[in-house]
């Protein structure tokens, strides 16, 4: 899977865990719903780190805790391109 797909999976896991809707996350981050939709459906080639950081912050988790997930294990990621 791509890094963007892994990011989207992790965000969706945390949204469910914290009982936050995608719409509420848009409000908290100030990101446009279309931008959030592209991120959560991994439709971009490379996500903007600022957007990623805003999302992680509003999920109430540290960046290191966010990326400390099996979904980000190199064995799971296709990072060759």
79 within some domain:
no
**Residue 75's pLDDT is what?**
87
- Predicted TM-score (pTM) of the model is 0.88
**Residue 81's pLDDT is what?**
56
Q: What is the CATH number of the domain that holds 30?
A: 1.10.260.40
What is the total count of domains within the chain? 1
77 within some domain:
no
Structure tokens at 41: 């459906």
Q: What is the DSSP string of 11-57?
A: HHHHHHHHT--HHHHHHHHT--HHHHHHHHTT-SSS--HHHHHHHHH
78 within some domain:
no
34 within some domain:
yes
Q: 48-78, pLDDT tens digit by residue?
A: 889 999 999 999 999 999 999 999 998 888 8
Instruction: Indicate the DSSP class of residue 69.
Output: S
80 within some domain:
no
Look up the domain containing 18 and give its range.
3-70
């Amino acid at each position: 899977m791509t890094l963007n797909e892994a990011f989207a999976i992790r965000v969706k896991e945390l949204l469910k865990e914290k009982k936050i809707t995608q719409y509420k996350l848009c409000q908290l981050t100030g990101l446009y719903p279309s931008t959030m939709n592209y991120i959560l459906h991994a439709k971009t080639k490379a996500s903007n780190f600022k957007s990623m950081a805003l999302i992680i912050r509003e999920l109430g988790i540290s960046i290191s805790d966010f990326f400390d997930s099996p979904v980000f294990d190199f064995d799971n990621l296709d990072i060759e391109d």
